[in-house]
Protein backbone atom coordinates (compact mmCIF):
# COMPACT_ATOMS: atom_id res chain seq x y z
CA UNK A 1 0.00 0.00 0.00
CA UNK A 2 1.43 3.35 -0.96
CA UNK A 3 2.15 6.14 1.45
CA UNK A 4 -0.55 8.40 -0.08
CA UNK A 5 -3.20 5.66 0.17
CA UNK A 6 -2.40 5.00 3.84
CA UNK A 7 -2.56 8.73 4.55
CA UNK A 8 -5.98 8.97 2.85
CA UNK A 9 -7.27 6.04 4.93
CA UNK A 10 -6.03 7.65 8.15
CA UNK A 11 -7.68 10.97 7.28
CA UNK A 12 -10.93 9.18 6.45
CA UNK A 13 -10.84 7.23 9.72
CA UNK A 14 -10.13 10.37 11.79
CA UNK A 15 -12.92 12.23 9.99
CA UNK A 16 -15.36 9.38 10.61
CA UNK A 17 -14.44 9.24 14.32
CA UNK A 18 -14.87 13.00 14.61
CA UNK A 19 -18.32 12.85 12.99
CA UNK A 20 -19.38 10.04 15.35
CA UNK A 21 -18.06 11.98 18.37
CA UNK A 22 -19.97 15.15 17.39
CA UNK A 23 -23.18 13.20 16.71
CA UNK A 24 -23.02 11.45 20.08
CA UNK A 25 -22.09 14.72 21.83
CA UNK A 26 -25.08 16.53 20.38
CA UNK A 27 -27.41 13.68 21.30
CA UNK A 28 -26.07 13.62 24.87
CA UNK A 29 -26.17 17.43 25.26
CA UNK A 30 -22.41 17.79 25.77
CA UNK A 31 -22.30 21.06 23.87
CA UNK A 32 -23.99 24.18 25.31
CA UNK A 33 -25.28 27.14 23.36
CA UNK A 34 -25.00 30.86 23.99
CA UNK A 35 -27.19 33.70 22.87
CA UNK A 36 -26.35 37.37 23.43
CA UNK A 37 -24.57 36.99 26.78
CA UNK A 38 -27.08 34.55 28.25
CA UNK A 39 -25.85 31.01 28.53
CA UNK A 40 -28.66 28.50 28.18
CA UNK A 41 -27.99 25.42 30.26
CA UNK A 42 -30.37 22.49 29.95
CA UNK A 43 -32.01 23.65 26.70
CA UNK A 44 -35.56 22.50 26.02
CA UNK A 45 -38.91 22.60 27.68
CA UNK A 46 -39.47 21.12 31.13
CA UNK A 47 -42.62 19.88 32.83
CA UNK A 48 -43.51 21.54 36.13
CA UNK A 49 -43.54 18.99 38.94
CA UNK A 50 -45.15 21.35 41.45
CA UNK A 51 -45.57 25.03 42.29
CA UNK A 52 -43.88 26.40 45.40
CA UNK A 53 -45.01 30.06 45.30
CA UNK A 54 -45.08 33.01 42.93
CA UNK A 55 -41.35 33.06 42.19
CA UNK A 56 -40.38 29.42 42.71
CA UNK A 57 -41.36 26.22 40.89
CA UNK A 58 -40.03 22.68 40.74
CA UNK A 59 -39.46 21.02 37.37
CA UNK A 60 -38.64 17.54 36.19
CA UNK A 61 -35.17 17.69 34.62
CA UNK A 62 -34.29 14.39 33.04
CA UNK A 63 -35.95 12.39 35.82
CA UNK A 64 -34.74 14.57 38.72
CA UNK A 65 -36.87 17.26 40.37
CA UNK A 66 -35.05 20.61 40.57
CA UNK A 67 -36.33 23.67 42.40
CA UNK A 68 -36.14 26.77 40.21
CA UNK A 69 -35.99 30.30 41.66
CA UNK A 70 -36.94 32.98 39.12
CA UNK A 71 -34.07 35.39 38.40
CA UNK A 72 -34.48 39.07 39.20
CA UNK A 73 -37.81 39.07 41.02
CA UNK A 74 -39.33 38.62 44.44
CA UNK A 75 -43.00 37.90 45.03
CA UNK A 76 -44.59 38.49 48.44
CA UNK A 77 -44.18 35.54 50.81
CA UNK A 78 -46.86 32.87 51.25
CA UNK A 79 -45.23 30.27 53.47
CA UNK A 80 -41.69 31.29 54.48
CA UNK A 81 -40.88 30.00 57.99
CA UNK A 82 -41.33 32.63 60.71
CA UNK A 83 -42.82 35.07 58.18
CA UNK A 84 -46.52 35.93 58.00
CA UNK A 85 -48.31 35.67 54.66
CA UNK A 86 -47.69 38.95 52.87
CA UNK A 87 -50.18 41.04 50.95
CA UNK A 88 -50.59 39.78 47.37
CA UNK A 89 -48.48 36.66 48.01
CA UNK A 90 -51.37 34.24 47.43
CA UNK A 91 -52.42 36.21 44.32
CA UNK A 92 -48.86 36.04 42.91
CA UNK A 93 -48.64 32.29 43.58
CA UNK A 94 -52.03 31.72 41.93
CA UNK A 95 -51.07 33.85 38.92
CA UNK A 96 -47.85 31.89 38.35
CA UNK A 97 -49.69 28.59 38.65
CA UNK A 98 -52.52 29.67 36.34
CA UNK A 99 -50.18 31.28 33.80
CA UNK A 100 -48.04 28.14 33.44
CA UNK A 101 -50.89 25.66 33.90
CA UNK A 102 -49.98 22.24 32.47
CA UNK A 103 -47.57 23.74 29.94
CA UNK A 104 -43.85 23.17 29.86
CA UNK A 105 -41.37 25.97 30.54
CA UNK A 106 -37.99 26.91 29.09
CA UNK A 107 -35.29 27.79 31.61
CA UNK A 108 -32.49 30.23 30.82
CA UNK A 109 -29.55 31.11 33.05
CA UNK A 110 -27.99 34.57 33.24
CA UNK A 111 -24.29 35.27 32.75
CA UNK A 112 -24.33 37.85 35.59
CA UNK A 113 -26.16 35.63 38.05
CA UNK A 114 -24.88 32.66 40.02
CA UNK A 115 -26.08 29.22 39.00
CA UNK A 116 -27.66 28.46 42.40
CA UNK A 117 -28.79 30.50 45.39
CA UNK A 118 -27.95 29.89 49.04
CA UNK A 119 -30.81 27.37 49.27
CA UNK A 120 -29.33 25.37 46.35
CA UNK A 121 -32.18 26.34 44.01
CA UNK A 122 -31.32 26.79 40.32
CA UNK A 123 -31.58 30.44 39.31
CA UNK A 124 -33.26 30.79 35.92
CA UNK A 125 -35.45 33.02 33.81
CA UNK A 126 -38.68 31.12 33.19
CA UNK A 127 -40.06 31.37 29.67
CA UNK A 128 -43.46 30.11 28.63
CA UNK A 129 -43.79 28.01 25.47
CA UNK A 130 -44.98 31.12 23.57
CA UNK A 131 -41.70 32.94 24.40
CA UNK A 132 -43.04 35.13 27.23
CA UNK A 133 -40.53 35.84 30.00
CA UNK A 134 -42.70 35.08 33.04
CA UNK A 135 -40.27 36.79 35.44
CA UNK A 136 -40.72 40.09 33.60
CA UNK A 137 -44.47 39.62 33.22
CA UNK A 138 -44.89 39.15 36.98
CA UNK A 139 -43.15 42.47 37.62
CA UNK A 140 -45.01 44.28 34.81
CA UNK A 141 -48.42 43.17 36.14
CA UNK A 142 -47.62 44.02 39.76
CA UNK A 143 -47.27 40.50 41.15
CA UNK A 144 -43.55 40.82 41.93
CA UNK A 145 -40.83 43.29 42.85
CA UNK A 146 -37.73 43.70 40.71
CA UNK A 147 -34.56 42.77 42.60
CA UNK A 148 -32.10 45.55 43.26
CA UNK A 149 -29.48 43.75 45.35
CA UNK A 150 -28.28 41.09 42.87
CA UNK A 151 -26.85 41.71 39.40
CA UNK A 152 -28.65 40.28 36.37
CA UNK A 153 -28.72 41.28 32.70
CA UNK A 154 -32.40 42.27 32.59
CA UNK A 155 -32.29 44.54 35.67
CA UNK A 156 -32.98 47.74 33.70
CA UNK A 157 -35.92 46.15 31.87
CA UNK A 158 -37.39 44.79 35.12
CA UNK A 159 -36.88 48.14 36.89
CA UNK A 160 -38.75 49.94 34.10
CA UNK A 161 -41.57 47.37 34.27
CA UNK A 162 -41.84 47.91 38.03
CA UNK A 163 -41.94 51.70 37.67
CA UNK A 164 -44.76 51.38 35.12
CA UNK A 165 -46.71 48.98 37.37
CA UNK A 166 -46.29 51.41 40.29
CA UNK A 167 -47.53 54.37 38.25
CA UNK A 168 -50.58 52.40 37.09
CA UNK A 169 -51.27 50.99 40.58
CA UNK A 170 -51.25 47.44 39.20
CA UNK A 171 -51.45 44.37 41.41
CA UNK A 172 -49.72 44.79 44.74
CA UNK A 173 -49.08 48.49 43.99
CA UNK A 174 -52.82 49.15 44.08
CA UNK A 175 -53.84 46.61 46.71
CA UNK A 176 -51.04 46.69 49.30
CA UNK A 177 -48.71 49.14 50.97
CA UNK A 178 -45.25 48.16 49.70
CA UNK A 179 -42.26 49.67 51.44
CA UNK A 180 -38.57 49.79 50.68
CA UNK A 181 -36.03 48.55 53.21
CA UNK A 182 -32.76 50.40 53.88
CA UNK A 183 -30.94 47.98 51.52
CA UNK A 184 -33.29 49.02 48.70
CA UNK A 185 -35.27 45.77 48.67
CA UNK A 186 -39.03 46.12 48.33
CA UNK A 187 -41.39 44.30 50.70
CA UNK A 188 -45.14 43.87 50.87
CA UNK A 189 -46.96 44.54 54.11
CA UNK A 190 -48.39 41.58 55.99
CA UNK A 191 -51.79 40.33 54.95
CA UNK A 192 -54.57 41.31 57.34
Active site residue 69: yes
Residue 68 domain flag: yes
Please pick, among 6, 7, 35, 77, the residue that the annotation labels catalytic.
77
The predicted model gives 95-118 an average pLDDT of 94
pLDDT for 148 equals 79
**In the structure, what pLDDT confidence band is assigned to residue 37 with cuts at 50, 70 and 90?**
very low
pLDDT for 186 equals 87
Task: Tell me what the pLDDT averaged over the chain comes to.
Answer: 84
pLDDT for 107 equals 95
The predicted model gives 76-90 an average pLDDT of 87
Please pick, among 69, 106, 124, 137, the residue that the annotation labels catalytic.
69
When divided into structural domains, the chain yields a total of 1
Domain, as residue range, for 88: 35-187
The predicted model gives 94-102 an average pLDDT of 96
The predicted model gives 71-82 an average pLDDT of 89
Active site residue 77: yes
Residue 4 domain flag: no
pLDDT tens readout for residues 141-181: 999 999 977 889 999 999 999 999 999 999 999 999 998 88
pLDDT for 79 equals 81
The predicted model gives 65-83 an average pLDDT of 91
Residue 138 domain flag: yes
Residue 162 domain flag: yes
Q: What is the DSSP string of the chain?
A: --HHHHHHHHHHHHHHHHHHHHHHHHHHT-S-EEETTEEE-S-SEEEEEEEEETTEEEEEETTEEEEEEETTEEPPPSS-TT-PPBTTHHHHHHHHHHHHTT-EEEEE--TTS-SB-TT-PEEEEEEETTS-BHHHHHHHTTSSEEPSSS--TTHHHHHHHHHHHHHTT-THHHHS--EE-TTS-EEPPBP-
pLDDT for 187 equals 81
**In the structure, what pLDDT confidence band is assigned to residue 34 with cuts at 50, 70 and 90?**
very low
Residue 170 domain flag: yes
**In the structure, what pLDDT confidence band is assigned to residue 24 with cuts at 50, 70 and 90?**
low
Q: What is the CATH number of the domain that holds 109?
A: 2.40.50.90
pLDDT for 40 equals 39
Please pick, among 99, 104, 121, 185, the residue that the annotation labels catalytic.
121
Residue 192 domain flag: no
Residue 29 domain flag: no
Active site residue 35: no
Amino acid sequence: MSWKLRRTHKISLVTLLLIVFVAIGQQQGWFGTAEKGVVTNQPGLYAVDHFVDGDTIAVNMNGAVETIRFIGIDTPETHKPNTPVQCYGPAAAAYTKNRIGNSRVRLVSDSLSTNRDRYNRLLRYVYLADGTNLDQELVAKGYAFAYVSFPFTKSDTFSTAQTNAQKQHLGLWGNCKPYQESNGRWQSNNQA
